[in-house]
Amino acid sequence: MLHSPTIEFHLECEGAVCLPRDDSLWQDTGADNTESAATRPDVLVVPPGDVCFLTSSADEDRRPLLTLEAPEGPAVLLEPLIFDGRPVLAAVRPPGDESRVNATFMPRPAVLSAGDRLQLPHGPVLRVRMFSRPEIGPPPAELVGKLCGYCRTPIIKKTTIFVCHNCGIGLHCEDTGPPEKRLRCAQLSSVCPRCTHPVLLKEGYITSPLSREMP
């Protein structure tokens, strides 16, 4: 399971419309959720703390379907994990399945990273992306008294910090009080000083060498 729910894996359909079996699996990009499937965003959200299943519709379009319950037919099992210190998307294809990753047959199981392209048999290409929702606010109890990963001073209760979703370290991220006394360590560091994962202070897709995506 991922270290925190601030990282989401998205599957972006290239040239096709995706159909989730559960409305909660649609990425909210500002579109009205009452719209028909044909006009909704072409992005599926992989739940951070759940196993889900990826399959194709039975019609000739072979549109990708994402469901939290195992379907009757074959499906690729997906689960977000931390592997070797970084977020990855674990994928297990069913026996005999001919799904591909980056135009080659997908191993069973496979470890997918942002930037990889997954294709179900006869279906469209799905681009794997990582979406960050930064964790900024009062420090959780386990980080109070710990050293900030940037300035190496203790983190106190009455402060604001950024928590790295990859390794869990805290960085000061103060925006109130006299400017000369604010500790803005997160704003001064483009990558986490412990794990070198990107420090993103606003919601958005991660594009870095670690994610194997181009900006």
Over residues 66-111, the pLDDT tens digits come to 888 888 888 999 999 887 767 889 999 999 899 999 999 999 899 9
> How do residues 14-52 score in pLDDT, each as one tens digit?
865 454 444 444 344 333 333 333 333 578 889 887 899
Q: Are 162 and 170 in contact (CB under 8 A)?
A: yes
Q: Which helix (H) or strand (E) holds 120?
A: none
Q: At a CB cut-off of 8 Å and minimum separation 6, what does 193 contact? A: 149, 150, 169, 171
DSSP characters over 44-106: EEEPTTS-EEEEE-SSTT--EEEESS--SS--EEEEEEEETTEEEEEEEPPTT---EETTEEP
pTM of the model: 0.70
Q: Is the dihedral of CA 145, 148, 154, 159 positive or negative?
A: negative
The per-residue pLDDT for range 106-162, each reduced to its tens digit, is 998 999 998 999 998 878 889 999 888 888 999 999 999 999 999 999 999 999 999
Helix (H, G, I), strand (E, B) or coil at 141: helix
DSSP state of 185: H
Q: Which secondary-structure segment (H or E) carries 111?
A: strand 110-112
Instruction: Provide the pLDDT for residue 196.
Output: 85
Structure-block tokens of residue 161: 């910090």
Q: Taking residues 53-68, report their average pLDDT.
A: 79
Type of residue found at 37: A
Pick the CATH number of 7-132 from 3.40.50.800, 3.30.460.80, 2.30.30.110, 2.60.200.20: 2.60.200.20
- Residue 190 CA neighbour count, 13 Å, CB half: 3
